[in-house]
Chains A and B, each alone.
Chain A
């Protein structure tokens, strides 16, 4: 399965089909769970990320992630929440931390809402804002790929639409993989869609094709709602 650069790839499928596990394999976050194992290869550019000698932390810096539930760091301010990744990575010559934080917040569509209260705790924001804060945090380290694990499942419809339109804008600069159990969302935002069923990749095609003219019987059953 090839994930196209600067496109949005959606991963859909019923609950428990391995969508989250799949996306966690792409930045090797899967392996921090006790008892987890991974087989196979994942190529990022010309690096096989499961090669010996590849440090998962290096991969994770190139592949950012936003989780199902917003997880801002409760003891840190809004500013620090966004800055933390950059502080760890170190600034490149000529960069300014303040600028990076502002730019990331702007990209996440949060700058106007939080301008002037950057030093308040991140946990004071609403759920949708928190999720965009997490998005800004991931963007601040300038990853190449952005993984989103059901980023809207804990949000209200308005916040969901907000994030979806942000993703469309961001796809010009980033390669985005989004896991969702919401087919309408996949159809709305993605360029390509993969359908996973019981841990198996059933079909992978451009979104318009997969939804209008599925090749597999199981895909058809799923998208027409015959099982979920």
Chain B
């Protein structure tokens, strides 16, 4: 009997220790998160001022200057990327949710999921070979295309998932009133799923805004305002990279400033998106 009691005590102890370790693991994971957020906030705020948003970068040695061109550049690149990814991604999502079936739909869905796991730098050298080499120059267009290709599979899957959440009865109601399927899809199903789709797209765009590797070989960088979409263009992530690895404290400070701007854009969209789709995230049952 004594032996059994000892064993039971051991089992309870082990239970306590292992469950405690899962709490510790969760706590450890939050340390880098908070460290990053705090450093970016503190160091970033030191670098941010009015000039940061209105001035061009200054050459080495001259203090001050800003990243107005990089902020506009990032926005331009994301807009260009959306021009590619939104139509193709959303139409694919509609195909997968409303029309597609059988092997082809399975394959497309599978490829989308697999493409989201391909490193973004691969997309960068792909667009370089496909666009930059024949055009003989780096350009905003190439950068936008790279971001667009990165976003397409994500947007397709988000659209599909959101459309699938629309109750079938809604579709049937519309079809039974004599609406065609295309009409039903566009006017009823898309509209009722629009909140979720917009949320997903916002998240995808904000992630794309932080991409660096695919831009290095496509959009390159530019110390000035870009003079056309067929010219190299500045962007916040590329500036963060070049300034962070530079030996100049001034520039390193500005890299933190740019990181703060980027993180704020991403945090705000994430939080809005999460609040908008809160219900989905409750635990089991």
The answer to whether A and B touch directly, with their CB atoms under 8 angstroms apart, is yes
A89 near B283 with CB under 8 A, answer no
Tally chain A residues at the interface, Cβ within 8 Å. Answer: 8
Complex Cα distance, B3 from A55, in Å, reads 18
**Residue A39 interfacial (CB < 8 Å):** no
Q: Given that A34-B283, A34-B285 are contacting pairs, would A90 and B3 also be in contact in the complex, using a CB cutoff of 8 Å?
A: yes
**Residue A1 interfacial (CB < 8 Å):** no
**Residue B58 interfacial (CB < 8 Å):** no
**Residue A158 interfacial (CB < 8 Å):** no
Q: Give how many A-B residue pairs fall within 8 Å (CB-CB).
A: 13
- Please tell me which one of the listed residues A55, A89, A90, A93 contacts residue B12 in the complex, with CB atoms under 8 A apart: A55
- What chain A residues lie within 8 Å of B7 (beta carbons)? 89-90
What's the nearest-Cβ distance from chain B to residue A76, in Å?
19
**Residue B4 interfacial (CB < 8 Å):** yes
A89 near B4 with CB under 8 A, answer yes
B11 near A88 with CB under 8 A, answer yes
Complex Cα distance, B11 from A136, in Å, reads 23
Complex Cα distance, B249 from A106, in Å, reads 79
Complex Cα distance, B7 from A139, in Å, reads 20
Complex Cα distance, B7 from A161, in Å, reads 39
Interface bin, chain B:
under 10
Chain B, Cβ-Cβ closest to A90? B7
- What chain A residues lie within 8 Å of B11 (beta carbons)? 88
- What chain B residues lie within 8 Å of A89 (beta carbons)? 4, 7
Chain A, Cβ-Cβ closest to B4? A90
- What chain A residues lie within 8 Å of B12 (beta carbons)? 55
Complex Cα distance, B8 from A55, in Å, reads 11
Complex Cα distance, B284 from A55, in Å, reads 25
> Which residues of chain B (1-53) have a CB below 8 Å from chain A?
3-4, 7-8, 11-12
What's the nearest-Cβ distance from chain B to residue A32, in Å?
12
- What chain B residues lie within 8 Å of A93 (beta carbons)? 3
Query: Can you sample 13 A-B contacts with CB below 8 Å?
Result: A34-B283, A34-B284, A34-B285, A55-B12, A58-B8, A88-B11, A89-B4, A89-B7, A90-B3, A90-B4, A90-B7, A92-B4, A93-B3
**What is the interface of chain B, defined by CB distance below 8 A to chain A?**
3-4, 7-8, 11-12, 283-285
**What is the interface of chain A, defined by CB distance below 8 A to chain B?**
34, 55, 58, 88-90, 92-93
Extra inter-chain contacts (4) besides given A55-B12, A58-B8, A90-B7, CB under 8 Å? A34-B283, A90-B3, A90-B4, A92-B4
